[in-house]
Amino acid sequence: MPTNPHAPIALCCSHVEGATWEAGLRAALPDAALSVWPVAAPDAEYAIVWSPTQDFLDAHPQLRLIFNMGAGVDALMRLRLPPNARIVRIEDGGMAVQMADYVCHALLRHFREFDRYAASAASSAWAPRAPRDRRDFPVGVMGLGALGQRVARTVAAFDFPVLGWSQSPKSIEGVTCLAGADEFDRFLSQTRVLVCLLPLTPATENILNYASLSRLKAGGYLINVARGAQLVEEDLLRLIDEGHMAGATLDVTRVEPAPPEHPFWHRPEIELTPHIAAQTVVREAIAQIAAKIAAGLDGAAPSGVVDPSRGY
Ligand code: NAP
Ligand code: GLV
């Protein structure tokens, strides 16, 4: 690990508020030499980035730690990294609570049929519907990391049956935890409302497809808050048309922004939001990154380092 307390830092903020990050980092790390891309700092040992270009990485061959401003590192993993660089992702950083409220909102809107009440209200119709039993709506959370665990616990607090699925076995109170490829089918077949909070990796690309979604209980519902490339979009539409799936709430699409002609905008069974389920809280992210840089200077390895062989 680096031991130089003045190790130069390069900041590369495409698509995000660069001035806020720069001011926050200068306040949190007053002794650091901070350069803001496109000014290059070829001796930089740390980078703090969101969607950097290959040019940025090529201009900083000495990088040791690349701090991603978000939780998902899939875009970064597609680039050619400097030889000694490791990626560090944001761990929660204020996003877990946002994920929990997004998923609970989508789940409860679907389960309590609030869209139908809104349609009734639009025609001034007082139209109560029979209550539904939450035991008929088991919720399965794919991915039990920083975000998925918080979502699973929050959904369980609403008394829904909750299942979770991850790579390695977990134990979470109130959640039936399953793991690995061997238990995937069991997880799906016991789930009606499927929440995806997996990182996008070669193993999870297209994981939400005709075969997997067909395994959900009848009247299945998908909430994808992870990455658009995990869903085969036409397979979801086909399963809705065939009556097996009731619909979906999607925060992500394969191409973002979704163009106006994208069928998801035009299907009443699908709610689409513009990748806002959980947004990095800059203040919390800067505090987390600054603490890791300080810990790194003391020789400790930071948490949240991405394992290149797993891709997350
Ligand atoms: P994380 O802490 O790394 O957790 C990932 C979880 O997925 C872990 O439980 C991991 O299992 C599991 N997993 C990974 N590959 C798997 C596989 N092949 N099979 C089964 N389980 C697998 O990630 P996080 O911080 O919770 O974030 C999850 C994702 O949410 C991010 O990668 C990002 O794409 C997405 N995200 C979206 C938004 C938005 O606004 N829409 C915002 C933030 C993040 P183990 O625990 O066994 O390793
Ligand atoms: C947002 O999608 C993130 O990965 O932080």
Judge if 8-93+280-297 and 95-272 fold alike in CATH terms: yes
Q: Does domain 95-272 have CATH number 3.20.20.140?
A: no
Whether the CB of 247 sits within 6 Å of ligand 1: no
Whether the CB of 302 sits within 6 Å of ligand 2: no
Question: Annotated catalytic, 254?
Answer: no
pLDDT of residue 18: 87
- CA 104 to ligand 2 centroid distance, Å: 19
Task: Compute the distance between CA of residue 298 and CA of residue 5 in angstroms, rounded to an integer.
Answer: 9
Report CA-CA distances (Å) from 211 to 204, 230, 238, 245, 249.
Answer: 14, 13, 12, 13, 19
Task: Compute the distance between CA of residue 73 and CA of residue 112 in angstroms, rounded to an integer.
Answer: 35
Task: Compute the distance between CA of residue 47 and CA of residue 10 in angstroms, rounded to an integer.
Answer: 5
Nearest ligand, measured from the Cα of 278? 1
The pair of structure tokens assigned to 134 is 């939450």
Among candidates 225, 248, 251, which has minimal Cα distance to 237? Answer: 248
Ligand 2 atom nearest 70 alpha carbon? 5
pLDDT 10s digit of each residue in the chain, 312 long?
Answer: 544 556 899 999 877 778 999 999 999 999 899 999 999 999 999 999 999 999 999 999 999 999 999 999 999 999 999 999 999 999 999 999 999 999 999 999 999 999 999 999 999 999 999 999 999 999 999 999 999 999 999 999 999 999 999 999 999 999 999 999 999 999 999 999 999 999 999 999 999 999 999 999 999 999 999 999 999 999 999 999 999 999 999 999 999 999 999 999 999 999 999 999 999 999 999 999 999 998 876 667 799 999 999 999
- Could you please state the CATH topology (level 3) that the domain comprising 8-93+280-297 is classified under: Rossmann fold (3.40.50)
Question: Annotated catalytic, 275?
Answer: yes
Residue with tokens 């009848």: 218
- CA 1 to ligand 2 centroid distance, Å: 26
Task: Compute the distance between CA of residue 41 and CA of residue 64 in angstroms, rounded to an integer.
Answer: 13
pLDDT of residue 297: 67
Task: Compute the distance between CA of residue 47 and CA of residue 79 in angstroms, rounded to an integer.
Answer: 14
Whether the CB of 73 sits within 6 Å of ligand 2: no
Task: Compute the distance between CA of residue 176 and CA of residue 289 in angstroms, rounded to an integer.
Answer: 33
- CA 197 to ligand 1 centroid distance, Å: 5
pTM confidence score: 0.97
Whether the CB of 29 sits within 6 Å of ligand 1: no
Among candidates 197, 206, 208, which has minimal Cα distance to 277? Answer: 197
Domain boundaries, the chain: 8-93+280-297, 95-272
Task: Compute the distance between CA of residue 207 and CA of residue 253 in angstroms, rounded to an integer.
Answer: 14
The pair of structure tokens assigned to 233 is 């979009």
Nearest ligand, measured from the Cα of 197? 1
Provide the strand spans (E) within 107-244.
Answer: 139-142, 162-166, 176-179, 193-196, 220-224
Whether the CB of 227 sits within 6 Å of ligand 1: yes
pLDDT of residue 296: 74
Task: Compute the distance between CA of residue 168 and CA of residue 158 in angstroms, rounded to an integer.
Answer: 26
Report CA-CA distances (Å) from 87 to 7, 64, 81, 117, 215.
Answer: 17, 8, 9, 46, 35
Ligand 1 atom nearest 179 alpha carbon? 20
Whether the CB of 197 sits within 6 Å of ligand 1: yes
- CA 197 to ligand 2 centroid distance, Å: 11
- For ligand 2, atom 2, the nearest C-alpha belongs to 72
Q: Helical H runs in 112-258?
A: 114-122, 146-156, 184-189, 210-214, 233-241
- CA 180 to ligand 1 centroid distance, Å: 14
